[in-house]
Amino acid sequence: MKKESESKSFLLESALKEFEKKIGSTKDALIFLSPASIVFLGDHTHYSDGLIFNATIDRFAAVIIKENNSKGVNLYYDSQKVEIVDISQVHIENSIIRGIIKLIQNLLAKRVLDSSFDCVIHTNFLPMLGVARNSAVLVGLMKALNSLFHWDMNNDEIIKHTREAELDTISKISNIANHYASIYSKEDKLMFLDIRTNEFEYYSLNSDKYKIIICDTGLTIDCPEVLCNERISECEVGVKGLRLYVWGIKNIRDVSLSFLEKHIHMIPRRVYKRIYYTVNERLRADRAREEIKRGSIKGFGDQMYLSHRGLFENYELSCEELNYIVSETKSIPGVYGSKMISCSGYYSSINLVSENKAASFIETISQKYKEKFNRKLSAYLLNINGGIEEKRID
């Protein structure tokens, strides 16, 4: 079902060929495979010390790097030459390239980086993975530099650098959970991260039993970064208002549902809905943890459905086509949960499906979508991956 062009081995082979074409011999080069992650629960709680369930999937940034003697940085991202320029003065539309440039500039400014290197970054990401692609690239590059130049940074130091560069380029929609996942994820495990404490736990989700299927409507979202940042601003306005009634509220993590409901008339309706979603999403993530602790994948999936409803009704991010897909999955055998993918420029859903029903699910939902909207639905079958890998050149 998975195309060869989407496989890890094909990506590695393509990246090596790209390096040889753009730079030359790969002798003595290092290779890192940095996986992108996807959020199951906890969307839009990351900027308020929330709780997030996510996992890395088998889509990667392949980073090939070696030292050179040219006293300069020679770097390519998906065949595009990356010039280390002042991004405050030069318009660069691609946020991933902006992040790469910012990371290198920060390292140069802090005198961490004082050597030259050649690097090719090649990816097989799905575009609907959104900002998780940025994090995977930055983590892969930082890990590669750390190894190449023997800096001996620990993972927390690496995350500090990559997160700083991402915040500088995409602002508060940057999700630190993506950085943690790209480094710390384990194969066939969901990762539960408490962003306030940066503590995390693992919960089993075996790829032999369950598959992740992304359904893409083919519809795009105009300016998703602007949309997400609007939601962040609305939540910040609400928190400022609620602080007038109780001392000690740092952010929405400190707001209980009962307190919020008592003060429904004290903040604008729109702002109330945003905070109502975020408070409940934190509670859903916590309930999902209890469900998966007792082995109930159905209970976990039920929270995904509730999350989608909240994203639609209170965060106002979904659309008719996506709502239809999520709703229809409830009647398809083998589906445990479904919800929209947030922080993406594409109206797409993540679906948790029984492995032995994956093929029939794709066939059924694709047919239903075609009949309803006279439009093709694209579906992608994915597995839960581990964290970043270092590869050797044979």
pLDDT per residue of the chain (394 residues) written in tens, 0 to 9:
456 557 899 999 999 999 999 999 999 999 999 999 999 999 999 999 999 999 999 999 999 999 998 878 999 999 999 999 988 888 899 999 999 999 999 999 999 998 899 999 999 999 999 999 999 999 999 999 999 999 999 999 999 999 999 999 999 899 999 999 999 999 999 999 999 999 999 999 998 999 999 999 999 988 778 888 899 999 999 999 999 888 889 999 999 999 999 999 889 999 999 999 999 999 999 999 999 999 999 999 999 999 999 999 999 999 999 999 999 999 999 999 999 998 888 999 999 999 999 999 999 999 999 999 999 999 999 999 999 999 877 6
Domain parsing of the chain, residue ranges: 4-205+386-391, 210-382
Instruction: Give me the CATH code for the 4-205+386-391 domain, please.
Output: 3.30.230.10
* CA geometry: angle 230, 232, 233, nearest 5 deg: 65
Report the CATH fold assignment for 210-382.
Alpha-Beta Plaits (3.30.70)
Q: Do domains 4-205+386-391 and 210-382 have the same CATH topology?
A: no
CA 389 – CA 373 distance, rounded (Å): 41
Q: Report yes or no: 150 and 108 within 8 Å, Cβ to Cβ.
A: no
CA 303 – CA 286 distance, rounded (Å): 10
pLDDT value for 394: 64
Of 225, 227, 110, 129, nearest to 174 by C-alpha is: 225
Place of tokens 């940095």: 34
Answering whether pTM is above 0.85, one says yes
CA 151 – CA 107 distance, rounded (Å): 12
User: Residue 22's CB: how many other CB atoms inside 10 A?
Assistant: 15
Place of tokens 């500039």: 105
CA 302 – CA 213 distance, rounded (Å): 17
Tokens representing residue 109 in the block: 């400014």
Of 89, 272, 128, nearest to 214 by C-alpha is: 128
The helix/strand/coil state of 280 is: helix
The helix/strand/coil state of 286 is: helix
- Any bridge partners for residue 216, and if so which? 348, 378
Task: Determine phi and psi for 58, rounding to 5 degrees.
Answer: -85, 60
